[in-house]
Structure 1
Amino acid sequence: MVLLVFVDLDPQLTALGALGGFFALRTGVPPRGPLPTLARAYARPRADTPEEVYGDPMTFRVGKVAKSIGAPEARVAASVAQQGLAARFWSIALGSAVVHGQLPDLDPGLLRWDPDAGAPDDLWLAEVRARPVTELDEVVRAGHLVPLSAALRDRYRVSPGLLWGNAGSALAGAVRQLDRWALGHGRPEAGERARTLAAGLFAHPDLAGTLDPRTLRRRSCCLYYRVPGGGVCGDCCFDRAPRPAPGRS
């Protein structure tokens, strides 16, 4: 019998920060002033908002990532940006499920994002409202990854398989980090809970088949190998970086 010990969901979500940088979620008003919500970032760009600092937040973020890593094309930067956000969403939700036995409501209209920040992505929750762990898929996959994927496909023509592969890889990464934390803090039941929750999430058709179940290597590539000096990731479907097609740099 596994004994699960939970800590109540606190108004500042301070316990999440102890799990690592990707798990931290700040609350209240950012010191830099109002930031765009993720609902705004997922929406189609509007021409009637010239007063917004970032214009289209998603385009701004992809441009920043492209410049930072020297991406040779926008879809590479879009892939890296999406995987960073996916890692944040899964980490926050799984971490809260393991520590609190509840989720914070990550409604895109409540969650503010600084597209000009570094990594991990800077996220601020306007209001802490609890949701049951049974809604984890609804909160993350349906609430964020589906509209995020749609926004990036619309702007950059990134393939759905690549984006869901990124999401699957990010989910597996969050579970590994939680497992390390659980073992290091004498909480093996927490790691077991994270793995059990992830197995349920991977059963959804969007995520099923994104990783090899035996090796956890992904079945698609995030394109990071196309970044100068990037190479392949630890869970890449390739053993070595593919050679560019003739005529492509």
Structure 2
Amino acid sequence: MDLDPSLTALRRLGGFFVLRTAAPPGPLPSLEEAYGPGRPDVHGDALTARVRRVAGALGTREARVAASVAQQGLAARLWSVALGSAALYGAVPDLAPRLLRWDPEGGAPDDLWLTGVRPLPADTATLAEVVLRGHLEPLAAALRSRHRLAPGLLRGNAASALVGATRELDRWGRRHGRTDVAVRARRLASGLLGEPLLAGAGTLTGTAFRRRSCCLYYRVPGGGVCGDCCFARPPRSSPHAPSG
């Protein structure tokens, strides 16, 4: 199936899967700009602005906690769009960082606009190139240059976001009699978890995932451990609690 110019089929999957293709409302930074070094240009430092926005929404003063949550949120959006397109269309839009506009001051899920729809193959190698190497690797590097975040934590976040998107597609496919969608999503996710940038992040059993790191959400006021956390219960809160 070809990609339609508005990626209409993704809308039925829910907010994390939607990708806007109309012109964004005003000048917004591209993700390529966001992954670059922070600089006081016309857009400011978009990534730092996003972390600040997430920190305010969570009610936390710990920038590294907000940075972890922000990274996982953006990873979830990118995986959802790519995996959803692959499972529904049999093709993936080119999601090169220079083609995606982003509103760092927006709510959750992250608002993304694609400036042009160009189909790519819907295979594991392409998804790894588009999402892992195209986005999550430079995003992790940019965040680590600004915040004290362990590589294992960011790798775990990326893997957890991938499995979360897969789980939603599996549920949607089963509810709507589209077992082909569920099967395709699970197959792609299994292959992606074997990629070097995700390998060792955790254990996948069906659509259940147990990661080997913690995203630090337990440090958010009123937060706890996530369903796939390496901890069974929130560890004693301290600056040196393991995070990957």
CA 1:227–1:98: 2 relative to 1, 3 Å = same
Structure 1 ranges of 4+ moved more than 4 A: none
Q: Which residue of 75, 94, 116 corresponds with 1:86?
A: 75
Task: Return 5+ residue gaps in structure 1 as ranges.
Answer: 1-6
1:124-177 superposed Cα distances (whole Å, 9 cap, x missing partner): 000111111131110000000000000000011211100010000001100100
Report what 1:3 is aligned to: none
1:87-137 superposed Cα distances (whole Å, 9 cap, x missing partner): 001100000001111000000000000001100000000011111113111
Residue 76 of structure 1 deviates from its aligned partner by 0.2
Calculate the aligned-residue CA RMSD, in Å.
1.5
1:106 aligns to 2:95 (yes or no): yes
**1:140-219 matches, cutoff 5 A:** 140-214=131-205, 216-219=209-212
Aligned residues: 237
Q: What letter is aligned with 1:223?
A: L
Distance in 1 between the 2:240 and 2:193 partners? 38
**1:29-178 matches, cutoff 5 A:** 29-30=23-24, 32-47=25-40, 49=41, 51-52=42-43, 55-134=44-123, 135-178=126-169
Residue 70 of structure 1 deviates from its aligned partner by 1.4
User: Does structure 2 retain, via aligned residues, the 8 Å contact 1:22–1:88?
Assistant: yes
Distance in 2 between the 1:246 and 1:158 partners? 12
Report what 2:11 is aligned to: 17
Distance in 1 between the 2:139 and 2:216 partners? 18
Percent identity of paired positions between Structure 1 and Structure 2: 63
Task: Return 5+ residue gaps in structure 2 as ranges.
Answer: none
Q: Secondary structure at the match of 1:86?
A: helix
TM-score calculated relative to the size of structure 2 = 0.94
Q: Secondary structure at the match of 1:18?
A: helix
TM-score calculated relative to the size of structure 1 = 0.92
User: Does structure 2 retain, via aligned residues, the 8 Å contact 1:72–1:226?
Assistant: no
Residue 246 of structure 1 deviates from its aligned partner by 8.7
Distance in 1 between the 2:22 and 2:141 partners? 28
Residue 247 of structure 1 deviates from its aligned partner by 10
1:37-92 superposed Cα distances (whole Å, 9 cap, x missing partner): 00000000124x2x33xx10000000010111012310000000000000001100
**Rg: which structure is higher?**
1
Q: Which residue of 220, 224, 227 corresponds with 1:227?
A: 220
